[in-house]
A = this chain, B = another copy of it.
Amino acid sequence: MDKTILIAEDDKDIVALLKLFLENEGFAVVATEDGEEAIEALENNEIDIAVVDLMMPKMNGYEFIKKMRQSYNIPVIILSAQNQDSDKIIGLEIGADDYMTKPFNPLEIIARVKSHLRRYYQLNDPKESGEETIQWGELRLNTSTFEVFSKKEKILLTPMEFKLLKVFMENPQRIYTKAQLYEMVTGDIGDNEERAITVHISNLREKIGSEYIETVRGLGYKLEKK
C-alpha cells in the first residue's frame, strides 16, 4: 500500500496495538500523543490518513480536526470511548470520515483505513470493496450505488429498469424470455404480465439508447454487442 498513517492517541497501549497491526499491513505509522503534536506531524510528513482519538491533552481531537481541515483534506477516522457523551461527538458533521468506539477490533480499523484510502485515492479494487461495476459498451452500472452511467452521463432508472438492465449486463448476449425476465425482476411467476416487460424494455431503451437491447423475435431480448 505504501501509505502513511497518522495516529493521534494518548493511550500508549492503543498506539502500540494499532502500530503493530498497521505496520504489519505495510503501512508507515507516525504516532503522536496530542493534537498539537499531530498538527506538527502533518506538516513534516506525507500523511495519507489520520486516526484520531477525541480525548487528548492540550488539543483534543475535535479541535485538531477543525484546524487540520483548514489545510488538509485527507480521510480522518475518529476513535472514541464507548461511554463518552455522544452529543460531544459531532466529529462526523465536522469533517471526519468514520467513527469507531473503543474497544475496537484492530482488524476492523485496518479494514476501514484501507476502505477510506481506496475511496480517497480512487485505488478501487473491485474484488475487495463492495463496489462492483459492470461495464458494457458505453454503459456502466454500479451495483453499490444503484447508479447507471452512459458515456459519463448519469441515467435515472426505476427499480425495475435497473434490475432489468443488471440482468442483461450480467449475461450479455444471453437471450431471456419475457417470462424469465419478469420472474427475475419481480420474484413472482408472471402469468401474462409479460406485457409489462415490453413496456419496461421500451422505456429502458428510451433512457439508455436503442442500440443495446435487441429483440429476438419469438424468444425474448438480449443485450447485444455494438
Contacts and interface: CB of A to CB of B under 8 A. Distances in A.
Contacts of A166: 144
A93 B187 contact: no
Interface residues of A, number: 39
User: By DSSP majority rule, is chain A's interface helix, strand, loop, or mixed?
Assistant: mixed
A195 interface: no
B218 A98 contact: no
B187 A219 contact: no
A217 B86 contact: yes
A99 B130 contact: no
A218 to B, nearest CB: 4
B180 A108 contact: no
24 contacts: A86-B216, A86-B217, A86-B219, A87-B217, A89-B219, A92-B175, A92-B180, A92-B219, A92-B220, A98-B174, A99-B175, A100-B173, A100-B174, A101-B173, A108-B173, A112-B174, A115-B171, A127-B127, A130-B143, A132-B143, A144-B166, A145-B187, A146-B163, A147-B187
